[in-house]
Structure 1
Amino acid sequence: MSDTTHLLIPYAASASEGCQQALQDLALPHLDRLLARLSPLPALSDNGEDTSFSTPHERALARDLGLPAQDGRIPWAAWYRHQQGLAADGQAWAFFTPCQWQVTTDHVTLRDPETLGLDEAASRALLAIVSPWFAEDGITLHYDQPTRWLAGGALFAQLATASLERVLLRDVRAWMPDARAEPAARTLHRLHSEMQMLLYTHAFNDERTAHGLPVVNSFWVHGAGLLPEALPPAASKAVTPTHPTTLRDAALRDDWRAWRAAWTALDAGPVADLLRQAEAGTAVQLTLCGERNALAFHSAPRTLTQRIQGFFKPSRFMDLRNQL
């Protein structure tokens, strides 16, 4: 589908009570008209659970790019390096996000790394502090962004890791790699403990506290994996689908009023544009993703039954939302 205009929408719906309330009386006229024109593709999700390590939109995007899509093992960091023109060198890579774990008696919550106020200078200073500890386990850390580094090492070749989106503002214990099943996970658990002990009384955090900034006491590894030795043609020629993040950003903050407003804006913007292209005869694809599943639709002749159903079901999206 390389010649197809593809719009992939993460967090199009959620089973949460806040989202269900936000969906009440939500008018998405362009989306309903578009869905009435398109035909469904085979189901994309192979999990259907909101406990999977990889989100449905990550799995859908990986398949579209021709990347391995096994749960928790989509090599996003290695793909990122490939896209930057950096040699793979046969090494496994992962994203490494410095963060704060907020520990209470019954929860260990990962706070949003963007609230740390890390700038490049502070991030590089922290990187210099922790790098030697990881080097002892064959892990090299490289600066990329203030709240995201790159980590290279054999540890990440087969390690299943949960997306940062899955664990954000949630209890991390449900999303840690299984130390009983994976030796690499035991190493990662140990490194988590060592980092917490190292940073608990470190001058780096003392200075942050003195300036009213949140402490950094942990990290999250995600997007781990190894690119295939020979990327399939789909990956080398792939054009990333348009995937707006406004719904995702609002959903991760549990801001369902903003999520509702974002849907209205998407319907009037990218969705309306896709509808105009479909009406003009351009091949289009629409992928709607929730926290459990992804549903995809494309330009294709519709049966008489499908056309009749589309006519009598003007609110097609409301029929689909519980499947996401």
Structure 2
Amino acid sequence: MHTLITHAAPAGPQCQQALAHLALPHLGRLLQVLTPGERLQGQAGDHTPIHERVLANAMGLAGADGLLPWAAQDAHRLGLTALHGPDGWAWVTPCHWDVHSDHVAMADPQKLSLTPRDAETLYLAMQPYFAEDGITLFPHPLGHAYTRWLAHGAVFANLPTASLDRVAGHTVDAWMPRQPQAQPMRRLQNEMQMLLYTHTVNEHRHNTQLPSVNAFWVSGTGTLQDATSTAQQDSVCSVRDALRIPALNDDAAAWVTAWHALDATTLAHDVQRLQNGEAVRLTLCGETQALTLEPHPLSTWERLRRRMLPLSAIDLLKSL
């Protein structure tokens, strides 16, 4: 079992300060047995966050920065690549933008709370405008029917795009594609803002004090090279993202609570698996680094040293 914990050590100052208040006994027990391996290094300016790179590596999914083909993989699972090919795919996520004079900020799309009916209404309203620019929208039934859609069009081919985690709760300006081929997509963004401004869905949302849907974000672009290695994602790597929303919001109290819950459940189960003789791998992802802990044979001296000078879970997280 390979467990991947995202946002284990976020960059937000409140969460950074809260590191000292974590109590993670099961992580400590895992550190007595598992051995830290090589770190995977990323950059804060990468389109692809480090945890997505780790997951892609575990699944054998290849692609340059901003070109890991998550959408093409979904299209393959739905049988769409047989008709439309493995490239030119993207995720389209409806979202809310706050437009200011000097920047544009995106609220976390998970906070939209779109109902199935509203999502379908928006999908049907937006679809013809995408089609005019040669983009076909598809419903996304793989657990994301109300949060994002699949899209296919030449505009997305080899177009690096930033992960939603880069922009959710942050400004989008630095992450907007500026390549000439992205010009139709930027024009489409403006058209959607005008279309959705007075849309009945948003009028109802305003009356119920919910944020409007006034934009969309494109991500998950890239060409699928080998679909056979990505078929069993769940069995390859178990992703735990309970820390994501508190980390993106720099909500220290919620982040600490979520970490304690992960330690008491997921990591407690990993400890039990080790005691049962099962293989366990654990990857902890910070803002720019990921560290994988794996079982390795330990000498008598090393076992003694770990008992006398155990690895500190807090120090390990601070190093990410």
Same fold (TM over 0.5): yes
CA distance in 2, matches of 1:118, 1:40: 41
Of 218, 237, 250, the match for 1:241? 237
Q: 2:193 aligns with which of 187, 192, 196?
A: 196
Q: Encode CA deviations 1:84-128: one digit per residue, 9 max, x unaligned.
A: 455443143111111111012333111122333422222222222
Whether 2:69 is the aligned partner of 1:75: answer: yes
Decide which moves more: 162-171 or 306-315.
306-315
1:147 counterpart = 2:123: no
Query: Residue 78 of structure 1 contacts residue 88 of structure 1 at CA under 8 Å; is this kept in 2?
Result: no
Give distance in 2, aligned partners of 1:285 and 1:88.
Answer: 35
Identify if the C-alpha distance between structure 1 residues 260 and 211 changes in structure 2 by more than 3 Å, giving closer, same or farther.
closer
After superposition, the C-alpha distances for 1:150-178 in whole angstroms (9 at most, x for unaligned) are 1111222211111111101101102112x
Per-residue CA deviation, residues 64-93 of structure 1 (Å, 9 max, x unaligned), is 001014221111112123334554431431
Answer yes or no: is the 8 Å Cα contact 2:31–2:310 preserved in 1: no
Q: Once the two structures are superposed, what CA deviation does each residue of 1:7-39 show, in whole Å capped at 9, x if it has no partner?
A: 110011123211122111322111122122112
Query: 272, 275, 279: which one pairs with 2:271?
Result: 275
1:211 Cα offset (Å): 5.2
Q: Give yes or no for contact 1:310–1:316 (8 Å, CA) kept in 2.
A: no
| Matched residue, 2:175 | 175
- SS for the counterpart of 1:42 is strand
Report the number of matched residues: 313
CA distance change for structure 1 residues 50 and 86 in 2, over 3 Å: closer, same or farther? Answer: same
TM-aligned CA distance change 1:281 to 1:210, over 3 Å = closer
CA distance in 2: counterparts of 1:65 and 1:165, whole angstroms = 20
Q: Describe how 1:96-111 pairs up with structure 2 within 5 A.
A: 96-111=92-107
Deviations 1:242-294 (A, max 9, x none): 11221113212322211111111111211122122223332211100012111
In structure 2, C-alpha distance between the alignment counterparts of 1:305 and 1:248, rounded to whole Å: 39
CA spacing shift, 1:199–1:42, aligned 2, 3 Å: same
- What's the secondary structure of 2:194's corresponding residue? helix
Whole-Å separation in 2 of the counterparts to 1:211 and 1:322: 42
Does residue 61 (structure 1) correspond to residue 55 (structure 2)? The answer is: yes
| Alignment-mate amino acid for residue 230 of structure 2 | A
Give the Å deviation of 1:203. Answer: 5.1
Q: Distance in 2 between matches of 1:25 and 1:127?
A: 44
The answer for the alignment partner of 1:223 in structure 2 is 220
Q: Which runs of 5+ in 1 are unaligned?
A: none
- The 1:214–1:269 alpha-carbon spacing in structure 2 relative to 1, beyond 3 Å, is closer
TM normalised by structure 1 equals 0.87
Output the aligned Cα RMSD: 2.3
| Contact 1:81-1:88 at 8 Å conserved across structures | no
Q: What SS does the corresponding residue of 1:196 show, helix, strand or coil?
A: helix
Identity of aligned residues (%): 46
Q: CA-to-partner distance for each residue in 1:174-201, whole Å, 9 max, x for gaps?
A: 2112x1xx33222322222222233334
The residue number in structure 2 matching 1:138 is: 134
Tell me if structure 2 keeps the 8 A contact 1:97–1:220: yes
